[in-house]
């Protein structure tokens, strides 16, 4: 992946490392997200899928818990990748999508349980991290 120099002086984009085994389990082996999360607890995409499934089934508190888990695991991974608490987290990089989806799922579930400050903070964090993710996920 090519990284372009940021002429405005802000931080470079952060690209999380790929987890090919987790993608293989979800894709080729069609394993359910709960199994993938158990086998790869740092893989935020599995947590995002669990959060989305729970939300769609009306289990909002469960969705919130899954999203918060994936969000925090993603923050840990971002920090390990050199992220300093702000800056771009590109949506087009496949490995970043799990974290960004968890952030959106957390915003959505927080809104449903009346956590308005958290909802607004998460949506703003998503927008600041990736305009593309925000446009895709805030529907």
Kindly report, residue by residue over 22-46, the tens digit of the pLDDT.
999 999 999 999 999 999 999 999 9
CA distance linking residue 47 with residue 139, whole number of Å? 20
Average pLDDT over residues 112-120: 98
- Confidence at residue 123, expressed as pLDDT on a 0 to 100 scale: 98
- Confidence at residue 1, expressed as pLDDT on a 0 to 100 scale: 46
Average pLDDT over residues 47-70: 98
Average pLDDT over residues 35-63: 98
Chain centroid to Cα 45, Å, comes to: 7
DSSP state of 29: T
Paired tokens of 59: 């289990």
Average pLDDT over residues 109-137: 98
Average pLDDT over residues 101-112: 98
Whether 2 has a pLDDT exceeding 50, the answer reads: no
pTM: 0.92
CA-CA-CA-CA torsion sign (92, 105, 54, 25): positive
Paired tokens of 96: 């970043």
Length of the chain (residues): 139
Chain centroid to Cα 17, Å, comes to: 13
Residue 135 pLDDT level (bands cut at 50, 70, 90): very high
């Amino acid at each position: 992946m090519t990284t372009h120099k940021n002429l405005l002086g802000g931080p470079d984009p952060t690209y999380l490392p790929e987890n090919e085994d987790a993608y293989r389990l979800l894709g080729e082996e069609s394993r359910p997200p709960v199994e993938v999360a158990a086998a790869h607890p740092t893989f935020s995409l599995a947590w995002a899928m669990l959060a989305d499934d729970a939300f769609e089934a009306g289990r909002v508190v469960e969705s919130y818990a899954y999203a918060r888990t994936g969000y925090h695991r993603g923050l840990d991974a971002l920090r390990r990748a050199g992220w300093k608490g702000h800056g771009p987290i590109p949506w087009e990089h496949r490995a970043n999508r799990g974290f960004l989806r968890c952030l959106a799922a957390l915003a959505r579930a927080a809104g449903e349980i009346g956590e308005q400050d958290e909802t607004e903070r998460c949506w703003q964090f998503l927008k600041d991290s990736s305009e593309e993710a925000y446009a895709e996920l805030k529907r």
